[in-house]
Amino acid sequence: MNARAPLPRVLCAPLAGALLSGSVLCWDRRAGAEDSDASRLFDEGRTLVIAGRFAEACPKLEQSQRLEPRLGTQLNVAFCQERLGKVATAWLGFQQALSTARRGGDVARETFAQGRIDALEPRVPWLRVRAGAAADQLTVQLDGVPLAPSRWGQELPLDPGEHALLAARGGDEYWRATVVLAESQHVDISVPPPPATRRDDAAEHPTTRAAETSAAGHFVFEVGAFVGIILVDTNRSELDADPASIETTVVDADGMTQRLSCATATCDYASLGASSGVVAGVSGYVGYTVAPPTSLGLRFLVGPRVEGGGLLAAGPSASFALGRLRLGPTILFGTASHADWESIVLEWPAGSSYVEAPLRASLGFAIGLSAELGLELVSTSTGSVVLQATPLFLYGPNGMAYSLPLGVAYRWD
């Protein structure tokens, strides 16, 4: 079918003012197709769009696209849906138009579609539906449409507003919920497992609002392992061995051999000062979701320093989910320590001797800060695998410590 001539300039102007390049929306069909239903619906819908009557325009444009799919119609449909506040539907529509424009080499429309995608993406709400039961035990519906098990645990773009969830086993509904999404919001909701035994209708068909069944109001657990670099800088050190075991043999002025140790002679040694090393251990987080996508709880990191010493820190923490990213601050309480072999001096009346001895030093009770920087790698029906960095700083009465642990954790939420 031939394309239709563009609208007169006077009609295109409002669209050009509304968007980056409104004239793109005016390119669709040319003369010779005016008698088709698709063309008639397109013209009627486009006129309504220009008049700002989007609720009436969208159905006509959508029907025109169903009868005769065209790139220009697709752009008009997406534009109309955006003006109705259906940002996710419009975002997906512009992505389809972008692919079509690229295949056809239509640079102007490709640029226009990409611009709308970039503008809409930060506004799109996302919903993740988690189902702990196996796919053969239940079916899940979202807004009346079955949700494939492969999409359980994945974030889905949805338009702002209310969305209905339903779970059934063997065709019998046992749970439903209503989720209310706002622009830019990320919400997780967990579908409870099917009841073990049949209950009365009120127990078998609960209806709850999003505030009761969404990500808010449940516990979050995380366990992981980490390895990283730690720098400990201390002011004072002490022997890390029994003083009697640190000994040496000396010859006095009379030619007599004596055995001296730190238990019987004066031992002098300097502080370990600053030393870096490798630390490895386990991390964890226990929190409670107060409002999607925010949880408050307790985070901890515990691990030995490979060269001697270690890290022990825990404290109140917050965690924020931004799509696949997880960010959050932590106030830490704990300590860090290091150990190493150093030369010490054994002084005796006739002179002094040098020996190697183990020293250790701790910050004492320290306070500090940490930040969670996480990236969700894999989603499952019960949680997700997260790649993490948790840089931290501790300050105590005997010095300070810095560390950059990197690790992987599993998060149940």
Using CA atoms, how far apart are residues 231 and 403, in angstroms rounded to an integer?
Answer: 6
Cα 120 versus chain centre, distance: 20
pLDDT higher at 334 or 137: 334
Of the candidates 245, 272, 264, 262, which has an alpha carbon nearest to the alpha carbon of residue 342? 272
| Interval 277-302 mean pLDDT | 92
Q: Is residue 276 part of a domain?
A: yes
- My answer on whether 16 and 114 are in the same domain is yes
Residue 86 makes CB contacts below 8 A (sequence gap 6+) with: 159
Q: Are 243 and 265 in contact (CB under 8 A)?
A: no
- My answer on whether 182 and 328 are in the same domain is no
Q: Is residue 265 part of a domain?
A: no
Strands of the sheet containing 172-181, edge to edge, are: 145-146, 139-142, 161-169, 172-181, 207-208
- My answer on whether 117 and 146 are in the same domain is no
Question: What pLDDT was estimated at residue 225?
Answer: 97
- My answer on whether 189 and 316 are in the same domain is no
Q: Give the model's confidence band at 133: pLDDT under 50 very low, under 70 low, under 90 confident, else very high.
A: low
- My answer on whether 145 and 289 are in the same domain is no
Q: Give the model's confidence band at 312: pLDDT under 50 very low, under 70 low, under 90 confident, else very high.
A: very high
Using CA atoms, how far apart are residues 219 and 334, in angstroms rounded to an integer?
Answer: 25
The string of pLDDT tens digits covering residues 78-122 is 999 999 999 999 999 999 999 999 999 999 999 999 999 999 999
Residue 118 makes CB contacts below 8 A (sequence gap 6+) with: none
Of 122, 150, 177, the residue that ends a domain is 122
- My answer on whether 115 and 133 are in the same domain is no
Question: What pLDDT was estimated at residue 140?
Answer: 92
pLDDT higher at 290 or 253: 290
Q: Is residue 248 part of a domain?
A: no
Q: Does the structure show a pLDDT above 50 at 305?
A: yes
The string of pLDDT tens digits covering residues 354-373 is 888 999 999 999 999 999 99
- My answer on whether 371 and 232 are in the same domain is yes
Using CA atoms, how far apart are residues 260 and 168, in angstroms rounded to an integer?
Answer: 81
Of the candidates 88, 77, 30, which has an alpha carbon nearest to the alpha carbon of residue 54? 77
The string of pLDDT tens digits covering residues 222-271 is 999 999 999 999 999 999 999 888 888 877 666 778 788 888 888 888 88
What mean pLDDT is reported for the chain?
84
Of the candidates 318, 328, 379, 372, which has an alpha carbon nearest to the alpha carbon of residue 127? 379
- My answer on whether 406 and 274 are in the same domain is yes
Q: Give the model's confidence band at 277: pLDDT under 50 very low, under 70 low, under 90 confident, else very high.
A: very high
pLDDT higher at 402 or 28: 402
Find where tokens 């990320």 sit. 186
Question: What pLDDT was estimated at residue 171?
Answer: 83
The string of pLDDT tens digits covering residues 188-235 is 898 888 876 444 444 444 444 443 344 455 788 999 999 999 999 999
Domain span including residue 321: 220-237+270-342+357-412
The mean-pLDDT minimum among 106-120, 315-329, 344-358 falls in: 344-358
- My answer on whether 282 and 373 are in the same domain is yes
Using CA atoms, how far apart are residues 285 and 317, in angstroms rounded to an integer?
Answer: 8
pLDDT higher at 246 or 133: 246
- My answer on whether 17 and 89 are in the same domain is yes
Question: What pLDDT was estimated at residue 24?
Answer: 58
- My answer on whether 87 and 137 are in the same domain is no
Provide the CATH number for the domain around residue 46: 1.25.40.10
Provide the CATH number for the domain around residue 210: 2.60.40
List, in sequence order, the alpha helices (H) in 51-106. Answer: 54-67, 71-83, 87-104
Q: Is residue 3 part of a domain?
A: no
Q: Give the model's confidence band at 21: pLDDT under 50 very low, under 70 low, under 90 confident, else very high.
A: very low
Q: Are 282 and 224 in contact (CB under 8 A)?
A: yes
Q: What percent of the chain has pLDDT over 70?
A: 84
Q: Is residue 261 part of a domain?
A: no
Provide the CATH number for the domain around residue 224: 2.40.160.20
Q: Is residue 350 part of a domain?
A: no
Using CA atoms, how far apart are residues 407 and 410, in angstroms rounded to an integer?
Answer: 10
The mean-pLDDT minimum among 52-56, 281-285, 312-316 falls in: 52-56
Paired tokens of 43:
């013209």
Q: Give the model's confidence band at 170: pLDDT under 50 very low, under 70 low, under 90 confident, else very high.
A: confident
Of 103, 122, 141, the residue that ends a domain is 122
Q: Is residue 294 part of a domain?
A: yes
Using CA atoms, how far apart are residues 179 and 125, in angstroms rounded to an integer?
Answer: 12
Question: What pLDDT was estimated at residue 23?
Answer: 52
Distances (CA, A) of 400 to 49, 233, 234, 369, 371: 64, 5, 7, 12, 17
- My answer on whether 44 and 186 are in the same domain is no
Using CA atoms, how far apart are residues 111 and 101, in angstroms rounded to an integer?
Answer: 9
pTM of the model: 0.52
Question: What pLDDT was estimated at residue 251?
Answer: 74
Q: Is residue 148 part of a domain?
A: yes
Q: Mean pLDDT highest for which of 72-76, 239-243, 257-261, 299-303?
A: 299-303
Number of domains in the chain: 3
The string of pLDDT tens digits covering residues 334-345 is 999 999 999 898
Of 74, 89, 122, the residue that ends a domain is 122
Distances (CA, A) of 81 to 4, 43, 94, 236: 23, 17, 10, 68
First to last CA, the chain: 53
Q: Give the model's confidence band at 380: pLDDT under 50 very low, under 70 low, under 90 confident, else very high.
A: confident
Please list, residue by residue across 74-111, b when 16 or more beta carbons sit within 10 angstroms of its beta carbon and e when fewer do: bbbbbbbbbbeebbbbbbbbbbbbbebbeeeebeebbe
